[in-house]
Amino acid sequence: MQRFLLALLIASLCVFASCAPLTSFFTPKAFKTRIEGDGVVIVEFLDNRATSVVIPAKIDGRPVVKIDEGAFCSCPLLTSFAVSSDNPRFQAVDGALFTADGKTLIAFPAGKKTTKYAIPDGVEAVGAYAFDCCLSLTSVEIPASVETIGESPFHLCLSLTSFAVSSDNPRFKTVDDVLFAADGKTLTAFPAGKETTKYVIPDCVETVGAYAFSSCDLLTSVEIPASVKTIGDGAFAGCDLLTSVEIPASVETIGDGAFYACDSLTSVEIPDSVETIGKSAFYLCDSLTSVKIPNSVETIGKSAFYLCDSLTSVEIPNSVKTIGEKAFTGCRSLTSVEIPASVKTIGAYAFMDCDSLTSVEIPDSVEKIGKNAFYRCDSLTSVEIPNSVATIGDKAFDGCAADLTLYGAAGSAAEEYARENNLRFEAR
């Protein structure tokens, strides 16, 4: 799916770009910037139709002192970078953008029609998103000089089938074309175009790095060994065909967006070693029907199950203290939810647009119901709110069933909220 959508986007940009000639000169308005000291930082390049760009020495009279990571992520047609001759901080080599000392590779042009790229000797750092959306690349060679690789540098490199690392590099290595830290304890990046549907992570790995399998939409299953302690941010984001994953009891952390948009994931069992489910961890997993959260989890992060619209049931254990903002927003198939007596806060928008939710029982541990918490739950007909609830946010129950009744103690925050919002209230 991601391959199709990306191809469609680039095709449409190409057609649009052909309507007007583009040059390599850009006005200051082509750059989103911010002031830093006496200089200016390029935050983002705004012309996604451009095929080339010149990094100027100054913008609005201020010297360009820095380029943010990912500044060119929205430019899939770029074939080359150039740097103004009076800019002392950056250089371009074979169309790629580097710092002037050649030690950091900032960005490789996404539209450059080359299948293999050898990072030059002397480069010490590969910046975050450096090769973002480079659809033509099939292999990348990493020299001995590279010491650090930033976050998600090979994002959406959908044709990438292999990495190669110099045998003299003391920090990285490859095993079966997959990139690892030299000690084998961190899986850094799996090539998204590698022709395999199943992968077994070696049992020496302790960390699945941030975005390591991002957009690997050929994979249907990944076996995670008992050695793994951390699943990094976005580790499996966009793995469209991944149907199931067994998370071993060794895992302590599931990072933010770890399984973001895994469209085919139907079920997941989280082990009792996990204490926090990161924000957006299962965001847009729209085939996910059930999830079992263990007693070890204390926080369900912001947007953790956002738009999981096939989710019919979720077991929230009595260890959970906080249900984060938008945690279950748009879970349209969720019919009921039992909030345990350990929960103190129901975050803003936590259950917004849960169309099938008919009833909710809120325990007397809850002190705050955030704004829009149950907004547009249009099947919700009754809610019992305990006296412990001191605060009910704006529009917490707006857009619910026309016959919604709130139950609670006389003189409580629930009664006050019902009166102010013209809702039925019955004292118990």
**pLDDT band for position 22 (cuts 50, 70, 90):** very low
Q: What is the mean pLDDT of residues 190-208?
A: 96
For the beta carbon of residue 25, count every other beta carbon within 10 angstroms.
11
Q: How far apart are CA 215 and CA 143, in angstroms?
A: 25
Phi, psi of 6 (to 5 degrees): -65, -45
What's the whole-number mean pLDDT along residues 181-195?
Answer: 97
- Determine the 3-state secondary structure of 363 from DSSP: coil
pLDDT at 375 over 70: yes
Above 60 in pLDDT, residue 18?
no
pLDDT bin (cut points 50, 70, 90) of residue 360 is confident
Let me know: does 109 contact 130? Beta carbons within 8 Å: no
Q: What is the pLDDT of residues 246-268, one digit of tens each?
A: 899 999 999 999 999 999 999 88
pLDDT at 23 over 50: no
What pLDDT is attached to residue 27? 54
Q: Is 331 in contact with 309 (CB distance < 8 Å)? A: yes
pLDDT at residue 59 above 90?
yes
- Rounded mean pLDDT, 360-386: 95
Considering the domain boundaries, does residue 397 fall inside one?
yes
- Structural domain includes residue 194: no
Q: Is the pLDDT of residue 26 over 60?
A: no
Q: Any idea which of 2-16, 87-101, 407-421 has the lowest mean pLDDT?
A: 2-16
Task: State how many domains the chain has.
Answer: 1
Q: Region 136-161: what's the mean pLDDT?
A: 96
Let me know if residue 330 belongs to a domain. Answer: no
Range of the domain at 396: 336-428
Is residue 409, in this structure, part of any structural domain at all? yes
pLDDT for 54: 96
Question: If we measure between CA atoms, which residue out of 146, 156, 165, 116 comes closest to residue 7?
Answer: 156
Instruction: Give percent of the chain above pLDDT 90.
Output: 87
Contact between 377 and 400 under an 8 Å Cβ cutoff? The reply is yes
Q: What is the pLDDT of residue 28?
A: 60
Asked whether residue 150 carries a pLDDT value surpassing 60, the answer given is: yes
Contact predicate 296/316, CB 8 Å: no
Mean pLDDT confidence for 231-258 = 94
DSSP state, residue 120 = P
- In the prediction, which pLDDT does 244 show? 81
Sheet containing 162-165: give its strands across. Answer: 116-118, 139-142, 162-165
Rounded CA separation 247/224 (Å): 7
User: Which residue did the predictor score with more confidence, 327 or 361?
Assistant: 327
pLDDT tens digit sequence for 66-102: 999 999 998 999 999 999 999 999 999 999 999 999 9
Q: Is the pLDDT of residue 1 over 70?
A: no
What mean pLDDT value characterizes the chain? 92
Contacts of 5 (CB under 8 A, 6+ apart): none
8 A C-beta contact, residue 67 and residue 81: no
The answer on pLDDT for 13 being more than 90 is no
Judge whether 388 lies within some domain.
yes
- Asked if the model's pLDDT at residue 19 lies above 70, the reply is no
What's the mean pLDDT in 148-172? 96
Mention every residue, 6+ apart, whose C-beta is less than 8 A from residue 315: 291, 292, 293
How many other C-beta atoms lie within 10 A of the C-beta of residue 4? 10
Would you say residue 78 lies in a domain? Answer: no
Residue 5, pLDDT > 90, answer no
CATH number at residue 363: 3.80.10.10
Tell whether 357 is covered by a domain.
yes
Within 108-229, strands assigned E span 116-118, 125-126, 139-142, 148-149, 162-165, 172-175, 178-181, 186-189, 198-200, 207-208, 221-223
Whether 412 maps to a domain, the answer reads yes
Is the pLDDT at 25 greater than 50, yes or no? no
Inform me whether the pLDDT recorded for 24 exceeds 80: no
Find the mean pLDDT for residues 27-46. Answer: 91
Q: Which pLDDT score is estimated for 74?
A: 87
Per-residue pLDDT band for 428 (boundaries 50, 70, 90) equals: confident
Q: Quick check: 4 pLDDT over 80?
A: no
